[in-house]
Amino acid sequence: MSPFAEYAISALLLFGGAFTLIGAIGLARLPDFYTRLHGPTKATTVGVGAIMLSSVIYFSAMGEDIGISEILITVFLLMTAPVSANMLAKAAMHIGVKTVEGTDGKPWEQ
């Protein structure tokens, strides 16, 4: 394997792991449900995407076919993350989950 591919794979792996961890820290640390929603939808999606990309590069550097299923999983996660976040936000507004103090504006009553 060429040294360039090794550097690229290692960097992408560490980047992905760090972002997955940051998303989870956000989920554990932020004060209310609506702010917690931000960590998983963005940081975790990007983190898993980077890990997938490193897997694609790794297996093509090993001389196998280009990994289409990895790309398919990444595209699927990118498409579904906003939908599930939206559904959960709607459910939370329906139940009336409390917002943290200092939040501007209010969720709707529908």
Minimal distance, residue 23 CB to other proteins, in Å:
7
Neighbours of 11 (CB within 10 A): 12
Contact status: 4 vs other proteins (CB under 8 A): no
Q: Phi and psi at residue 60, in whole multiples of 5°?
A: -75, -30
Smallest gap, in angstroms, from Cβ of residue 8 to other proteins? 10
Q: How many residues at the interface with other proteins, by CB under 8 A?
A: 85
CB of 101 to other proteins, least distance (A): 10
Q: Are 30 and 88 in contact (CB under 8 A)?
A: no
CB 79, min distance to other proteins, A: 8
**Among 2, 4, 63, 105, which residue sits at the site for other proteins (rule: CB under 8 A)?**
105
Residues 21-80 that bind other proteins (CB under 8 A): 21-48, 51-52, 54-55, 58-59, 62, 64, 67-70, 72-73, 76-80
Contact call for residues 71 and 56 (beta carbons, < 8 A):
yes
Taking the C-alpha atoms of residue 5 and residue 11, their distance in angstroms, rounded to an integer, is 10
Residue type, 33: F
